Amino acid sequence: QVQLVESGGGLVQAGGSLRLSCAASGRTFSIYAMGWFRQAPGLEREFVAHISASGGRTHYADSAKGRFTISRDNAKNTVYLQMNSLKPEDTAVYYCAAIRGVSSSAAAYDYWGTGTQVTVSS
């Protein structure tokens, strides 16, 4: 099992960029695929991006495709979400999660961080 801690959130102007990091504890990070999710106040938690355990395959929500990039560094036990061309509608708490498999469904993930706030101003 792993423990996940997100960081890198903050306030950014529309059109700007931000890189989120998710640091994992434990010795088995490399066997998990990882996902990023986000949740705005009053809304459901939604899928943003997924990366395979090896980092060789990625998948993005339509809202993120072309703007966001998920990556991982297994040697550092860290997964990243590079967010470019940010929009006010990207404002949310962003969570990273680990899964022993492949899924874009939050319910399928095994471990979760506690989130980092991203606020995009107009």
- Model pLDDT for residues 7-58, shown as the tens digit of each residue: 999 999 999 999 999 999 977 899 999 999 999 999 999 999 999 999 999 9
Backbone φ and ψ for 56, nearest 5 degrees, come out as -80, -20
Any idea what DSSP says for residue 15? Answer: T
Those residues with Cβ within 8 angstroms of residue 90's Cβ, 6 or more apart along the chain or in another chain: 38, 83, 118, 120
DSSP 52: -
Contacts of 41 (CB under 8 A, 6+ apart): none
pLDDT tens, position by position, 76-107: 999 999 999 999 999 999 999 999 988 889 99
Residue 18: which of 26, 30, 10, 28 has the closest Cα?
10
pLDDT band at 65 (very low <50, low <70, confident <90, very high): very high
Q: In the prediction, which pLDDT does 1 show?
A: 75
Q: What φ, ψ does residue 41 adopt, rounded to 5°? A: -55, 130
